[in-house]
């Protein structure tokens, strides 16, 4: 069997589905191929919650991307009817740079508010604070599963084709075209001819590029198994802000942290939080999905000492992957007909509509 498309996207997580939507909005004939079922739990795009964090960024480019992403999240909601972005606000503390960050994001067009720990604790009694607290009211929470589903549904409504449970098993790249050999769950193979290919395969990026014979000068892509947990809230978590807590290395209250902490209230589930990017390095096809006992114990200690609004002994562990570059910068590249987006884990989800637009730009430029 043979199929033809202007653009084939390999990988149907949030970045691939966002790219499909952005291409379909331009009238491009796009075919998305996903190895697992759409919405699967083997990568980095599943679950109910991601922080739409603003205070992690002080450079004008990233802040401009946030404005663009916020507009497109709302456009996707209008197109799909799904509620994806909820403005809960996010509180950040522990860095010692809260005032500088507040000035930068205010200059970038976002609201910011500085509070002392007693004022912050009075407003959000489920959390304990240290040092200046930066509140960004326009930040919030994204529903991850709904986001992927909405991108897919909106892209399909515009004519995109989506094939899941189908993996790339071969291919060839020429100057102005590519041929992919894919295999479905039954073992049946299909050849796909395309003018352009976009690879958004997350933890499988390196193996997909190798299978296609596409050679990129990539930074190291480190794949780790991360393990946040959702803790039972002692009162309904609907009014909880998102939160980010950075450790102070020479202070005994936080020197034991393996990393900073991120978290958010998740209505109907509890309060989710976890360490950032310190899980064990894994191969995505050989994961245990089991939490590392030491990291899990430290997370429960954090709950006891810093989150008085949860029960530290009632938690559900979550397993996902990060695919990260050494400096946490995103990778965008194109060689011949193949475009690439990678290294988004840990802070990329919020930017998905903008990443999709940028990858659509790469795939459709003339050279």
- pLDDT at residue 270 in the model: 97
- pLDDT above 90 (res 44): yes
Residue linked to tokens 């299909």 = 190
pLDDT band at 79, cuts 50/70/90?
Answer: very high
pLDDT (tens digit, 9 = 90+) per residue, 144-179? Answer: 999 999 999 999 999 999 999 999 999 999 989 999
* Complete edge-to-edge strand list for the sheet that includes strand 133-136: 113-115, 133-136, 90-93, 242-245, 261-266, 270-275, 229-233, 310-317
- Mean pLDDT in the chain? 97
Residue 4's DSSP bridge partners are 193
Domains of the chain by residue range = 1-48+143-220+327-367
For residues 55 and 94, what is the distance between their CA atoms, to the nearest angstrom? 12
What's the average model confidence in pLDDT over 343-348? 93
Q: Which residues contact 280 (CB under 8 A, 6 or more apart)?
A: 224, 225, 292
- Say what percent of the chain tops pLDDT 90: 96
Q: Residues 46, 50, 52, 56: is their CA dihedral positive or negative?
A: negative
pTM over 0.85: yes
pLDDT band at 367, cuts 50/70/90?
Answer: low
CB atoms within 10 A of CB 286: 6
pLDDT (tens digit, 9 = 90+) per residue, 104-144? Answer: 999 999 999 999 999 999 999 999 999 999 999 999 999 99
- Phi/psi class of residue 194: alpha, beta or left (left: φ > 0; alpha: ψ in -120 to 50)? beta
Would you say domain 1-48+143-220+327-367 falls under CATH 3.50.50.60? yes
Backbone φ, ψ for residue 258 (5° rounding): -75, -15
């Amino acid at each position: 069997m043979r199929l033809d498309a202007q653009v084939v996207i390999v990988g149907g997580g949030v970045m691939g589905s966002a790219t499909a939507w952005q291409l379909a909005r331009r009238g491009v004939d796009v075919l998305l191929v996903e190895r697992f079922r759409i919405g699967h739990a083997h990568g980095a795009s599943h679950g109910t919650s991601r922080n739409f964090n603003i205070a992690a960024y002080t450079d004008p480019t990233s802040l401009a991307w946030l404005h663009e992403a916020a507009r497109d999240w709302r456009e996707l909601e209008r197109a799909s009817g799904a509620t994806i972005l909820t403005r809960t606000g996010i509180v950040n503390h522990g860095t010692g740079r809260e005032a500088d960050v507040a000035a930068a994001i205010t200059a970038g067009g976002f609201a910011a508010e500085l509070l002392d720990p007693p004022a912050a604790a009075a407003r959000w009694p489920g959390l304990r604070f240290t040092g200046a607290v930066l509140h960004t009211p326009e930040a919030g929470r994204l529903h991850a599963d709904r986001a992927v589903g909405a991108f897919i549904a909106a892209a399909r409504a515009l004519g995109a084709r989506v094939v899941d449970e189908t993996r790339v098993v071969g291919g060839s790249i020429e100057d102005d075209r590519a041929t992919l050999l894919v295999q479905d769950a039954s073992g049946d193979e299909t050849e796909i001819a395309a003018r352009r290919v976009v690879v958004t395969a997350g933890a499988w990026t390196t193996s997909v590029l190798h299978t296609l014979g596409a050679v990129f000068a990539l930074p190291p892509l480190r794949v780790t198994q991360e393990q946040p947990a959702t803790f039972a809230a002692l009162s309904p978590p609907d009014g909880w802000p998102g939160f980010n807590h950075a450790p102070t290395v020479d202070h005994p209250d936080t020197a034991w942290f393996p990393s900073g902490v991120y978290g958010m209230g998740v209505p109907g589930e509890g309060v989710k939080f976890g360490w950032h990017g310190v899980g064990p390095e894994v191969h995505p096809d050989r994961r245990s999905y089991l939490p590392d006992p030491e990291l899990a114990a430290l997370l429960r200690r954090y709950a006891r000492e810093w989150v008085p609004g949860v029960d530290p002994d009632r938690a559900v562990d979550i397993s996902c992957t990060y695919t990260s570059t050494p400096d946490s910068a995103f990778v965008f590249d194109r060689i011949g007909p193949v475009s690439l987006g990678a290294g988004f884990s840990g802070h990329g989800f919020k930017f998905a509509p903008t990443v999709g637009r940028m990858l659509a730009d790469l795939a459709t430029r003339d050279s």
